[in-house]
Structure 1
Amino acid sequence: MSENEKARDLLRRAQEAVRDDAHTTLRQLVGALVDRGNTGEILSLSRILDAGGPLPGAPRVRVALIGSFTADLLGRVLRVTLRRCGIEAVVDVYGIGQYGSLAADPDSDLYRSDPDFVVLAVHHDELGLPGHSTAPEKDVEAEVRRWRSLWRTLRTNSRARVVHWLFALPDDLVVNALDVRLPGSRYSMAVRVNTMLAEAAGKDVLVVDCDRLAGAAGKLAWFDDRSWRMAKQPFASDVLPLPARETASLIAADLGRAKKCLVLDLDNTLWGGVIGEAGVHGIVLGGDAGEGFVRFQRYVRVLKERGLILAVCSKNNPADAKSPFQEHPDMLLRLSDISCFSASWEPKPEQLRRIAEHLGIGLDSLILVDDDPVERAQVRALLPEVEVIDLPESSWEYVRTVRAHPLLQQAWATEEDAARADSYRARAQAKQYEEESETLEDFYRGLEMSARFAPVDAGTLPRVAQMVVKTNQFNVLSRRHSAAELAELVAGPGALHFTARLRDRFTDHGVVGFFLARTHGDTAEVDSWLLSCRVIGRDLERSMFGVFARQAAATGVRRLVGEYAPTQKNHMVADLYKRLGFGLVREAPDGVTRWQYDLVQQGLPALSPFIEEES
């Protein structure tokens, strides 16, 4: 079935649902059509909905749409996107450019309508900035004050929550490439105005980042000069669903309509393959093939850090389902991140009921992410209260698909969110810890770091191979061994090797370090020593050196030898061996240095006192 045929079928079924008062079916069809993001389809759906009654049990709101352009089409699309969020809305559209006079007059039609939300939809031509400024800070602050004054006027004269559209900035706002470096250019000032307005909004004003949305759509696609000339609409009609959906999702979040719990399937959702068949080391996770799953896990973890509850709903043996969380080196999500873990062979609707009961929340607070269309269809049929996300075939598109869902939006971060998400709170405080620490040692202690050092095995080898190829900064010799070569090296006689996995109070960084040395006689010589740039500056290298020395001494080694080969990017480790107590043996004309550490005379070096070694 072609996309056009799918759309016609969905619209036909929506029309039938309106006729039959099949509200549950209609809700699901509205979701499917709105999520497709096609303006024409949404406008057709708008006409169908107009022929039916209101959504039973839905909150009803009045939205005033005021702005600097013709917004009739936007109003219709916004009403449907609000319906998609379970909100029945009346959207009043006011005339082009009247927002200032409407706001200033306490007796205007705007206030007499008593709106719940006022959407201030303005575009870049409304920026009161000069083409170039010799006093950019003053001009930016004056422009920010102007808009904040308008916010205050709207709030003073009404009970409405203000939703402000930040300015989408077209390319023709830029004179040339120098603008981004000139604080006084109109472009740089406009960027700063957007930033300062977002910061000033606090909890009083909802903010739609139209410049981000325009970037996602492509600014050449977003801005439409012909549309402006003919209809006084500054953007193409094709992109209307983007700002409408963002606006609707913020209103929904403000009304408490956002979902509370993200329920995750496992096989082919958090990793590729079936854990019960492939085993921990056979699933696709990490490396080139599984990077999409890692990115998705990283995104999900951020959602958890921002207060979203995470649950697992999987048809699997419990032990199999949990094993990647416990054993796989590239698994970013841990069992401690999951508030409710359900893995059994019961139907997923039954598992979802148990999850909701266990968490003490309603089924309508759940949103399911599952790759299996059959499972999704069953949940939709038996538990229509549960929101279901259709995952695309490629794991690379998982983040974009889930992020686009309108019921996973946050209007702002609350104290309750911060209390639930220790990692998120700590991440935001990292810079503060550093600034408040009187010494570097105090800062390290504040990180509460722990590390696990383990031999390279089948599970970590793909990650190690990836690091060997890609790591440039902390890499003493920059030897680019292939995966096959690495497997042979670590299995060879006299090989000393391990990976380093670092955790701190912010997050679990996963496998971020690799060390390989080879022994011959009473000497052990470094072959590869590298750290991910994500953890540089954490003193992890000191602990890695300590582990290397401990392993070497256990085999009877008396001397440790290492070399540094300079490249364009690894200057930061030029003095690594010196800092760790090695003595310089020689320096070659090409800059390669050779260093030695005497275990008999100097003794075993200590691991970093700031990183707890995990067993």
Structure 2
Amino acid sequence: MKFLQAKKILRESKASNSLACEVLTSAQVENLSPFLEAHLALKNIRAQAAFTPFGTLRQRLLVDEKNDTALIACLYPWDYCPALDWRQYQTGTSVTLPELVEQVLAFDRLLGEKAHAGVFIDAPVPPVLNANETQVLSNLIASCAVKRGFKYLSEQSFSLAAYLEFGRPISNAMAPYVASVLSEALFKNNVIATPKKVILTDLDNTAWLGVVGEDGVAGVACAAYGPGFAHYIYQCFLKRCVGSGVLLVAVSKNDIDLAKAPFEQKELPLKLTDFVDFKVGYGHKSQLIQQVSEELNLPLDSFVFIDDNPIELAEVASVLPAVTSVQFPAEVDELPAVIETLQLYVNLTQGSKEDSERTELYKIRALAEQERKQTPSLHEYLASLEMELHINTQAHVDNARAIQLINKTNQFNLNGLRITEAELSKILTGGGSLFTATLVDKFGNHGEILACVVDAEGKLLRWVMSCRVLQRNVEYYFLYWLLSESGISLKVIEFVKTDRNAPLEQFLITTGLVPADSGQQVNSTLDCEGIRKALYKATKGIFKAVRVN
């Protein structure tokens, strides 16, 4: 990132989250400020960065301030041991290794809980001890910093010339890199990342090295050797994300045949089948991303966008601030920090069968959406899908997918409450019930798309449904079945309005389950007969079959 690029990003940013932060340091590092704030702006964070005044770090650490400012450190060997400061180096001063070790440990104790994130720059130090003792001391300092959780940076990030002349230990050339590392540490320790469902990736100089439209397929590089090795690692990471249930979309300024050609003609980790869609064209990428959101029926804040070009990132951040943007690194050494950031957004643990098949499930949904656009009425379209709803009344036997669905679904979610296996077990052993449902249509099997928990008193505690099947009227039929045929005497629903569950709230209002001006929380007592009639009317003739087991 260049200085003018950072300024442009900040000028055009519409970041919706704010973060006040202070960089704890003993030196002049204000040249980090525009880059630090720009990197955070690309993460949808409007940062206000302050810096400890020059030479006052120890005094600052003695101040016990209770406020909302996030603290992050940028430390050097002489912060731990002042005798190692080049600007304070004097001849004739006699010090011993034990004395300096005690200084190091004392400063480490002073840090305490003030800062547990940041960077430690392992700058060279003046010869206050013999070579062996200096190495022992340097190793101790670095060890203390790393144990505190600071990111270790080599002496390449240090400029002795700038430090001696200006008190500024980080050269302007290295400032963008150090700022990017600090931004990652700030983000990781102070921002709770919303789990992302979609990764949007650029292709040229991101998925591979080179520009396929100029270099040709043979000229782009992505292999486990040579100049494209970093891009190969990136593709391997994306492959793991797809296997964990994250949807992958290519967003590229390209022609469709060129965008797909490397995946068709080269041996790459990613295959065409790993992508749920390719969005290519020569307009603004924000427009392509908006199309993805509409077609997948997923909110923009569940997207993370990766591109090597800071101008493209700034354009998307400006138009679609809810999208999280991450810059693919220009330097290979920065790749681990980028992947570490991406891991904050995605869960790479072993997923369910539905997770591993999610890309195919959304492709099935896309086929249905294409047919919907060609059908005169919604009712005709739904009837033409030949839908079968399979309701499982024995879901307690294998409830892993139900728990996952409850804990990941946001839009069609009764109250936003999550559930643990122990909590669910307690409800079931107390006489409650767990129901799930699978949807099949003429295009294929959509997998397990619904989970519902009712306690022994007839209170609807949890109800979620995958956004893949919204606008299919599945919710209408399932509730009709629950009220009419399940054998459950449903009496009360525990609805809580969240900032994400507008689709479920609208359904409840439409069916009369809650009033339009219900507010944040409603425990509705059900008029089952009236509701049953409305639900039956909404689903009559739509489902080819309903199977219960």
**Larger relative CO (CA 8 A, sep 6+): 1 or 2?**
2
- TM-score, L = length of structure 2: 0.44
- TM-score, L = length of structure 1: 0.40
